[in-house]
Amino acid sequence: MDSEQRPQPIAIGGQKFAWGRRTYVMGIVNVTPDSFSGDGLAHDVSAAVEQAVRMCREGGDLIDVGGESSRPGFEPISAEEEIRRTVPVIERLVREVDAPLSIDTCKAEVARAALAAGASLVNDVQGFRREPKVAAAAAEFGVPAVAMHNQRGRSASGGRDVIGDIAAGLLESLRVAGEYGLPRERVIVDPGFNFGWTEEQALEMLRRLGELRTLGRPILVGTSRKSTIGAVLGLPVEERLEGTAATVALAVAGGADIVRVHDVKEMARVARMADAVVRGWTKVEARA
């Protein structure tokens, strides 16, 4: 993609994210007791802060803090409980890391509380389509947001056009964002790998990721430890590092701007190597 066609840079937490120069790495901090990946830290604020600090040291560019599991069959929790889990972590991290903090929530009340505590990005796995006021909260605080396409509970086009369904859903999210005061220039899109798709469809999504560039927005991809990797390799969640690495490299090749991962050190290296191939590299550009 030519530089003229790339989305304009977005400021997140006072830092400029210039799309197309390199792939940014978002570290996942789950303060939940029931994370699918087995890394949930429940109410252990100190452990969550320690994990986030380590992720930043290992190459994380952003930290995404989530208080409610989004795995299939998850037990919903109240906004009050979600705030109780996430806000103390964000309040501590604001003082301890330089990386921008993201709140992973689909509730406007939680988004506002987290933003007031110091978060500078909202990551909504419902793409503003469950609670449009999530977009309004981001607009109110002057921060960008991630809109994910979530296929769960929605009928697909018979598997014939996975990317078409995703693009249509993301266009609706962009429309809702604008209606609630959040300009599309401050929206990052996420195709929703494994959210309501079969394994075959999830793989097709990744294979055709570059087609979503027509939306003109930065793309976040979250494949880390997902069940499709387990299905392909026949491995439990704790043994999906190499499978995740393959999907991260392919996401970078397909045009991902941010990869959301559990294993920051390893995936930062994968992204850096993939960037060298996809975006070009010289010795002058090498970073220690």
- Which 8-state DSSP code applies to residue 7? P
Please identify which of the residues 186, 217, 226, 240 carries the catalytic annotation: 226
Amino acid at 44: D
How far is Cα 106 from Cα 123, in angstroms, rounded to an integer? 8
Of 112, 129, 225, 260, catalytic: 260
d(CA 37, CA 189): 23
Q: How far apart are the first and last CA of the chain?
A: 28
List, as one string, the DSSP characters of 135-192: HHHHHHHT--EEEE---TTS--STTS-HHHHHHHHHHHHHHHHHHTT--GGGEEEE--
Partners of 189 in the β-ladder: 147, 219
107 catalytic, yes or no?
Answer: no
Which residues are annotated as catalytic? Answer: 226, 260
